[in-house]
Structure 1
Amino acid sequence: MSITAEITSGMDVDHHESSGETKSAMHTWRYRHHFTYKADQGKNIIVQCNLCLPRVNLLSTSKTSTSNLKKHLDRTHLGCEARPDVKRGRRKEEHNGDESRHCQLKKLKAEIISKCMTQTKIDQLIFNFIVEDCQSFYVLEQPGFKKLVSGLTDGLKSMDRVTLFTKVDQGFSRMREELMAKLTNIQYVCTTADIWTANSRSFFGMTCHWIDTQSLERKSAALGFARLQGRITHDTIAGRIHDIHVAYNIESKVQTTVTDNGSPFISVFKEFAVDGQESDDDIGFYENVSAVLEGEPEQDMLLFLPTVQRCASHMLEQIVTEDFWQVGMDAAEEIGKMALVVPAVIRWNVEYCAVQKIVSLSERELTELCARLEVPRMQPEEMAFLKEYVTVFHPLAFALELFQAEQKCYLGLVVPTVLSLKNKLNEQKDAATYFGDVINAIVVAIDVRFQELFASTEAKIATATTPQFRLWWMAASDREEMCSLLATEASQIDPCTIVEANTSRNLSTIESEDDFFSYGSPKPTVQIQQRGVVDEIRKYVEGTGKSLECLQDFPRVKQLFLKYNTTLPSTAPVQRLFSQKGNLVTSQRNFLTDDYFERIQLLRYNSNVCTLVTE
């Protein structure tokens, strides 16, 4: 009688083997009770896994081996589900399973070790917590914090404040050394500077920016975040800027320092910049500085500052917050013989976004909003005015966002952006119902405030060496002159800084008579080099690629791009340094000294370019 004929669908392995057939390897297997016999299949048998029920899972295994079934248990039912039958085959199963269990234990031990918290890891996590969130050092002494660390780490302890101070010193020294090492290999840098006052404290901040020569990505770091005490004079600010440049050994690499318009920095650079030719216009008091700028610079101070670049973002904000209101103020003075007091607008783009969201509401949502605020519902004329306000000023808001984008914003972006802004404003003039005169006033204000930038040779070269624009933004009559200017600038670049697209052969190797003999003076070589510069400029200007990657094919143009586009058009980075969540507020309640507060801020800001690791 065959095995298939004598078994039924519910017969288990024990029943099958008691029928008198040849015993299989499962006869002495300790896990045989987890399977039910189903059928023969040549040298194999088909069984059903009882642990997989109610899902029917049929498995095939050799009559002489149970390895396939054991793998199924290990993969699917490892743990309390798959228990051996202590009455069957203990010795044989122990022998067969020793190697498997050893591998599993070894793997489990490795996972536990890798996940195990050590005191070093805990100290590093606490250090990051203090720096990244600007937490008070006194939090380490709080009983609840100590219990939290101990409970989460199974008995490990939190470091004390003395240890934290030591680690901050070590981290700051390591960060400073790493940053200085990075700046050593950088040829051109730009710095931004600003002064801010909060909680009756004034702070001086400075950031540094450069472009990676390989990836052409913008890199940024904070250089200073110092407390200013006493009266703030011109020589004090100049001394701060000069000292930071010298401390990081970048005084000869700084192309420009970007500052706000109307800030005390304008007059400071007028006094101390090497090529300073700033006009007296827009030199005013900076509204965030509580102390008074006074006093003449000391005669014996030998301070030389780089040229200053006025913040393009601030100029756009001034056009809206000052020139826009000036239209209404002039009309009121002419008609009513009165002067208006206009509320100060700190950040116009925040106000614009608020109005934009209001006009995006449906009529039902706007009615509900007015009811909740208990204000009269807006009339159709008022909504039409706000909608036109959003439409007219949308290009300006977009330009402002471009200038404040740190990573992808260069000086070469400013001129094309402002020119495009003027064109888009003029296009809306005829269709405007309420803002026709305002558009005219803003266009005039753009010409006045950006006049110096439009005439700047540096800004023109920065724009021309940006592949996105090249010479397309210029009048056709001016392009030939611009090509000559680029060729002149390119020919003055230090040859050592140029990495040619195709490296020349080694002239020290004599391969033929032509390599041995020298003919005439080196003048033809110079002429060939000049022709090479002109050819490169021509090919670049005639190109159509807009990606920065195409600069890799034009090494001299790339060097010009690095030199002139390292400059940022905005002080947004240093403003972000001041506006980091909680930094100026928590400094008062954290009871940190000025030195340690500055170190925490610099560690925090530079964590993206330097390693935040302590010993």
Structure 2
Amino acid sequence: MSLTTIKKATSKKGHRLNVREKDTSRQLSFRQAQEMSRHFTQDKGRQAWVKWFTTLCIAPSISAHPATREMMKVFRPEFNLPSHTAMKNTIDDQARKAKKELMSILKEARYVATTADAGVHTIAHSWVALCIGLMQKLCAESMARSPARAKVQPDKGAPGKRDLQDHSEFGITRKIVATTTDNGANYCAAFAHFGDNQDDPLAVAPEHEDPDGGDVAIVSVHDLLEEEVEDEAEDLPKLPTQRRCAAHTLNLLATTDVSKVVGWNYGTGRQARQPFTKAAAKAQGLWNLHNRSSVVANKIRDVVGRKLNTPCPTRWNTLYDATECLLKTALKDPETIEAINEVMKSEAAGKRAAAPVFTEEDKEILQEYCKVMKPVAICLHRLQAEVNAYMGILLPYLMLLKRDLQAIKREGELRYADPLVDALLEQDGTVHGFNNRFMHLFADEDLLMATLTHPNHGPFMLKHVAPALEEDIKERLIREIVTSITPDPLPSSQSQDMVTEKPKEASDDPFAFLESPTVMEEDGSNIGELIKKEVDTWGRSKVAEVKPGQFPSMHREKWISLFIKYNTALPSSAAVERMFSTAGDVLRPKRASMTSDRFEKSVFTKETCSSWMLS
């Protein structure tokens, strides 16, 4: 029954149904509506079936498998299961509709941010993903960032060239404010060649780390770029400004930068203190036993009441999370520690090496590790979120991280982890440590503008983040608002033409004096003073969700426009990293025959159609 039919039947205007007629278009009762929603139809079944396939990235061929059809006969015998070809056609149609919808949204967007990532898997497939994020229009109630994960394509060359093609395909080449990538060598080289990152002190750094290992293709990027661009035109579009993923950089800070800290986990000679190395080795041994044997895992669960979290090298924060879980469960009290040691001894029985056992000193060392790394883990967790992921949150959270680490050092309560705090804050060289990785960002005027225009931070946070540049950034904000308000002066030739075309009686216009340059300058100055008062009195909002009412009332549209301009860029590439987390489900040995086009449509449909078309 259509909505129009129901509306006509219940309307007080127009035709009224004859009570003696069979009422086939009356409004449904609440119970009937509930029964209708539960009523099964072939369309509903097909829609749910496609949604399940796209959400889990299941190969369409599974739909035609005899075991699948036998299972569905038990659950829903009347459902006509789509064939392999029908499933492919449906997914293709959904991907086509979603792409059309996405392109229409991008066409209306003024500013767009992208993230990019490349992955290599063992089935000889290399993939490049482009994730598009745009700021939705501000409405009267609220505004939000809408991540639109758009493209996944096989990498047949340099990632920079692939990104340029994607930008052109979606018509966003001139709309992108920044592209956020990880610290992989391939993307750093691509942006150094195709983009303009001369101001990035890390753009020419001697090393680019990526602890995820397989996520980066080890190829001669420089040779690829030289070969592909040599014969192309000089007016080839440039890549936008590159922003390093703050979450990935924090992960490097927490892993690579502290992998060799003298007095903590590294040293030479018998006198070298390595307290964390011994405690971490025992913890890793317990985790290995837990993952290697289900029998041991059950024994540990019997002791602590749950299964342990174990580290994963391709997931951020997992070492901290696993250590924290270990302290709360296996090492929570002497009795539990003794029980865990007995499990480890029983597994080492009959072996030459004695079983390592936990001591109270090990517990204290791991506690200090968690105390020091907790601010890093919290900051990383905040920056990798996709909700309210504005660039303006980056500097405040980094400032908070540095202050927390400095506070831990000032407390002087650490017996073992003082070298760890020092290594996190500052190290010699140009790459490692917080100061080398992040301090240059606190002088980036675009990032400071993003912080200043964010309602949760504003002028209050600016004076804490960059006190030396506070007045300069405020003046820049005032200048940009005044410039957007004050109309541009006409060219001299055009103004002369307009003067000659003026009718004679215009000389008697009492408002003619307002057109004089002096008055315009005075008005501009007055506007600037009023805006300066607005800036100085603008208090920060404590509501996480950004809404139009949080901006100053005077010239609110201009404030919002600047907020969108500087906050559209993403502080983290976690969105595209999560997209690639589905690749392991698709690229299994039994699905190695899946074509590049099929893989792209599967992921695109999963990330887009599952929420837009199939909800």
Same-fold status (TM-score > 0.5)? yes
Give the one of 357, 368, 376 matched to 1:377. Answer: 357
8 Å contact kept, 1:264–1:285: no
Give the one of 23, 40, 45 matched to 1:117. Answer: 40
What amino acid does structure 1 have at the position aligned with 2:440? Answer: E
8 Å contact kept, 1:179–1:610: no
Aligned pairs (5 A) from 1:37-56 = none
Give the one of 384, 388, 400 matched to 1:420. Answer: 400
Q: How far 1:480 moved relative to its partner?
A: 2.3
Q: Quick one: distance in 1 between partners of 2:396 and 2:563?
A: 16
- CA 1:299 to 1:489, structure 2 compared with 1: closer, same or farther past 3 Å? farther
Q: How far 1:560 moved relative to its partner?
A: 1.6
| Larger Rg, first or second structure (1 or 2) | 1
Match of 1:300 in 2: 231
8 Å contact kept, 2:145–2:388: yes
Does 2:569 align with 1:560?
A: no
Q: Quick one: distance in 1 between partners of 2:600 and 2:372?
A: 43
* Per-residue deviation, residues 208-228 of structure 1 (Å, max 9, x unmatched): 112223232111011211122
Match of 1:540 in 2: 535
- CA 1:153 to 1:452, structure 2 compared with 1: closer, same or farther past 3 Å? same
Does 2:303 align with 1:323?
A: no
What amino acid does structure 1 have at the position aligned with 2:231? Answer: D
- CA 1:106 to 1:384, structure 2 compared with 1: closer, same or farther past 3 Å? closer
What amino acid does structure 2 have at the position aligned with 1:366? Answer: I
8 Å contact kept, 1:264–1:283: no
- CA 1:237 to 1:527, structure 2 compared with 1: closer, same or farther past 3 Å? farther
Q: Quick one: distance in 2 between partners of 1:367 and 1:527?
A: 80
8 Å contact kept, 1:468–1:545: yes
Give the one of 443, 460, 467 matched to 2:425. Answer: 443
Match of 2:474 in 1: 483
Match of 1:398 in 2: 378
* Per-residue deviation, residues 34-72 of structure 1 (Å, max 9, x unmatched): xxxxxxxxxxxxxxxxxxxxxxxxxxxxxxxxxxxxxxx
Aligned pairs (5 A) from 1:361-372 = 361=329, 362-363=332-333, 364-372=335-343
* Per-residue deviation, residues 284-324 of structure 1 (Å, max 9, x unmatched): 47542345134143223323110000111122122221221
Give the one of 39, 48, 51 matched to 1:128. Answer: 51
Q: How far 1:332 moved relative to its partner?
A: 5.1
What amino acid does structure 1 have at the position aligned with 2:117? Answer: D
* Per-residue deviation, residues 170-223 of structure 1 (Å, max 9, x unmatched): 111110010111112211111000111222322111111122232321110112
Aligned pairs (5 A) from 1:192-207 = 192-200=115-123, 201-207=125-131
Give the one of 442, 454, 459 matched to 1:454. Answer: 442
- CA 1:450 to 1:146, structure 2 compared with 1: closer, same or farther past 3 Å? same
Q: How far 1:146 moved relative to its partner?
A: 2.7
Q: How far 1:400 moved relative to its partner?
A: 0.8
* Per-residue deviation, residues 231-284 of structure 1 (Å, max 9, x unmatched): x4xxx3122101111111111111000011243111111111145444411554
8 Å contact kept, 1:319–1:442: yes
Match of 1:209 in 2: 133
Match of 1:248 in 2: 170
Greater shift in the superposed pair: 359-368 or 427-436: 359-368
Match of 2:501 in 1: none
- CA 1:312 to 1:285, structure 2 compared with 1: closer, same or farther past 3 Å? closer
Give the one of 313, 316, 322 matched to 1:354. Answer: 322
- CA 1:268 to 1:371, structure 2 compared with 1: closer, same or farther past 3 Å? same
8 Å contact kept, 2:60–2:84: yes
Q: Quick one: distance in 2 between partners of 1:194 and 1:206?
A: 7
Does 2:191 align with 1:269?
A: yes
What amino acid does structure 1 have at the position aligned with 2:384? Answer: Q
RCO comparison, higher one (Cα < 8 Å, 6+): 2
* Per-residue deviation, residues 492-534 of structure 1 (Å, max 9, x unmatched): 44889xxxxxxxxxxxxxxxxx998433425334643553355
* Per-residue deviation, residues 435-475 of structure 1 (Å, max 9, x unmatched): 11221221112111113312211111111112222233425
- CA 1:282 to 1:487, structure 2 compared with 1: closer, same or farther past 3 Å? farther
What amino acid does structure 2 have at the position aligned with 1:379? Answer: T
Q: Quick one: distance in 1 between partners of 2:443 and 2:468?
A: 16
What amino acid does structure 2 have at the position aligned with 1:381? Answer: E
8 Å contact kept, 2:113–2:132: yes
Q: How far 1:360 moved relative to its partner?
A: 1.7
* Per-residue deviation, residues 112-150 of structure 1 (Å, max 9, x unmatched): 666443332222222112111212212222234334445
8 Å contact kept, 1:175–1:612: no
What amino acid does structure 1 have at the position aligned with 2:192? Answer: K
- CA 1:166 to 1:483, structure 2 compared with 1: closer, same or farther past 3 Å? same
- CA 1:373 to 1:530, structure 2 compared with 1: closer, same or farther past 3 Å? farther
- CA 1:560 to 1:114, structure 2 compared with 1: closer, same or farther past 3 Å? closer
What amino acid does structure 1 have at the position aligned with 2:480? Answer: E
What amino acid does structure 2 have at the position aligned with 1:227? Answer: P
- CA 1:329 to 1:594, structure 2 compared with 1: closer, same or farther past 3 Å? farther
Q: Give the 3-state SS of the residue equivalent to 1:450 in structure 2.
A: helix
Tell me, which stretches of 5 or more residues in structure 1 are unaligned? 1-98, 497-513
Does 2:106 align with 1:183?
A: yes
Q: Give the 3-state SS of the residue equivalent to 2:473 in structure 1.
A: helix
8 Å contact kept, 2:264–2:420: no
- CA 1:114 to 1:559, structure 2 compared with 1: closer, same or farther past 3 Å? closer
Tell me, which stretches of 5 or more residues in structure 2 are unaligned? 1-21, 282-311, 346-354, 427-432, 488-507
Q: Quick one: distance in 2 between partners of 1:368 and 1:607?
A: 50
Q: How far 1:386 moved relative to its partner?
A: 0.8
Match of 2:149 in 1: 222
Match of 1:470 in 2: 458
Match of 2:13 in 1: none
Match of 1:96 in 2: none
8 Å contact kept, 1:395–1:425: yes
Q: Quick one: distance in 1 between partners of 2:240 and 2:65?
A: 48
Match of 1:501 in 2: none
Match of 1:18 in 2: none
8 Å contact kept, 2:386–2:575: yes
- CA 1:457 to 1:609, structure 2 compared with 1: closer, same or farther past 3 Å? farther
Match of 1:6 in 2: none
- CA 1:372 to 1:178, structure 2 compared with 1: closer, same or farther past 3 Å? same
8 Å contact kept, 1:603–1:612: no
Q: Quick one: distance in 1 between partners of 2:535 and 2:344?
A: 59
Q: How far 1:557 moved relative to its partner?
A: 2.4
8 Å contact kept, 1:117–1:153: no
Q: Quick one: distance in 1 between partners of 2:46 and 2:414?
A: 62
Q: Give the 3-state SS of the residue equivalent to 1:306 in structure 2.
A: coil
Q: Quick one: distance in 1 between partners of 2:40 and 2:209?
A: 54
**Could you tell me the percent identity over the aligned residues?**
23
What amino acid does structure 2 have at the position aligned with 1:540? Answer: V
8 Å contact kept, 1:138–1:161: yes
Does 2:442 align with 1:518?
A: no
Match of 1:85 in 2: none
- CA 1:291 to 1:438, structure 2 compared with 1: closer, same or farther past 3 Å? closer
What amino acid does structure 1 have at the position aligned with 2:261? Answer: V
Q: Quick one: distance in 1 between partners of 2:485 and 2:114?
A: 23
Q: Quick one: distance in 1 between partners of 2:589 and 2:607?
A: 16
8 Å contact kept, 1:193–1:204: yes
Match of 2:292 in 1: none
What amino acid does structure 2 have at the position aligned with 1:273? Answer: G
